[in-house]
Amino acid sequence: MGRNILYLQSGGPTAVINATACGVIRACRALLPDGAALYAARHGILGVIRGDVFKIEMNEGEIRRLSRTPSMGFGSTRYELESDEDYRKVEETIARLDIGHILINGGNGSAAAAMRLQKRLDADGCGCGVLLIPKTVDNDLAATDHAPGFPSAARHVVITVSELIRDLWSYETDLIMAVEVMGRNTGFLAAATLAAGKIGQAPDLIYVPERVFDPEQFVRDVKAVMDRKGKCFAVVPEGVKTAAGKYLFEDTTVNKGKDPSINMGGITGYLSSLLRAHFSCKIRCIDLGLMQRCAAHDASPVDRAEAEALGRMAVELALSGHREEMLCIRRGNAGEEYAPVFTTVPLAETAGLSATLPGAYIGDDGHSVSETYLDYILPLIGELPEMADTAAYDDTREGEQDGML
């Protein structure tokens, strides 16, 4: 087995993945034997294939700045190893740089890729161990309570939604706001917006991909809120599907025949067209976009600390002989003060699997989230900003002011 460690960033960015990188760097400085080195590849596994790998040599000031830097400091890729030629080039780089341990910092797809890589290296007698350090925005990794990246995305969404709801109530006119959030197959991020109620008012309607999205029922839901309040705020994740199993962005009447596989998400146009076809009041449809995964300016302190801790732990585990595992986070029993416990699971227990929002958190009406979800999310997102109670909020309206055409 080689002496050196190779660190790779993979998949989509998060606000704290560079904090994990800093944990790896600091642990390597403290624990690697004399003469051993930490390497990184530009753009993940693509850099390994191309031989674009460099030794990480950073001073403490550079490390501190990196820990607060959004997105991926070493670049990423979604490229998957497929051919024998790909694997041959990877093994050539491993041999040339005397790599004994590969730390992949990635999400759901990276877990499966890491397991395939480990099995191929073992079959070829390479002797190099692979560990996965988790990260995710969607929170869809199985076998862990959550992964770094999700709490910061949730914090950003909660704060932004609370601010938008206050904007909604700035004028006395009827108004509908529909906000698109990330969440390909899971509703963890959408459900987090319930916490906006802790600093003002929660959304009126929250939908999740775990339930079928019925456009006609959505219109009825919005109308019921408008009849009662004269305003409505709805949260809809990018990954909701209709009863036909179609994503909303696959609607060709909105996307004008474009291939929906080009870009995940983009349901804001659909929601806008749907609402404008049924309501005459002002309508604002907003996509929170990439800021959900790169807003380091309001990253969760808990998230940042856990991200760096997992980076340090990954180095310790690698040097003690662990391989073909994913690091994960557990928490204490319900009702206890939040205290994370870091452990590992075999890659086989998470690769190819997806976590989903438990049904117990989803309201029977299909457009609400149980208050019990706050016990899960609040410890992760950190202290929220204080805001004043204002007289603008009004949960009732006088008379019949139907916004329907």
Helix or strand (DSSP H, E) at 132: strand 129-134
Tokens of 59: 């001073």
Task: Check: CB of residue 76 under 8 Å from CB of residue 13.
Answer: yes
**Is 214 one of the annotated active-site residues of the chain?**
no
**Phi/psi class of residue 65: alpha, beta or left (left: φ > 0; alpha: ψ in -120 to 50)?**
alpha
Burial label for 175, CB within 10 Å (0-12, 13-18, 19+), is: buried
Tokens of 352: 């190819």
CA distances 41 to 54, 102, 124, Å, are 6, 11, 22
What is the Cα gyration radius of the chain?
23
Look up residue 196 and give its DSSP letter: G
Pairing of β 129-134 and β 231-237? unpaired
**Token match 């390909």: residue?**
184
Task: Check: CB of residue 10 under 8 Å from CB of residue 42.
Answer: no
Amino acid at 114: A
Q: Packing angle between helix 17-31 and helix 301-319, nearest 10 degrees?
A: 40
Give the separation between CA 376 and CA 361, rounded to whole angstroms: 10
Tokens of 381: 């997102």
Angle at 69 between CA 33 and CA 51, to 5 degrees: 55
Tokens of 107: 């999400």
**Token match 């049924």: residue?**
278
Angle at 52 between CA 49 and CA 56, to 5 degrees: 125
Q: Pick the catalytic residue: 84, 122, 138, 259?
A: 138
Q: Which residues are catalytic?
A: 138
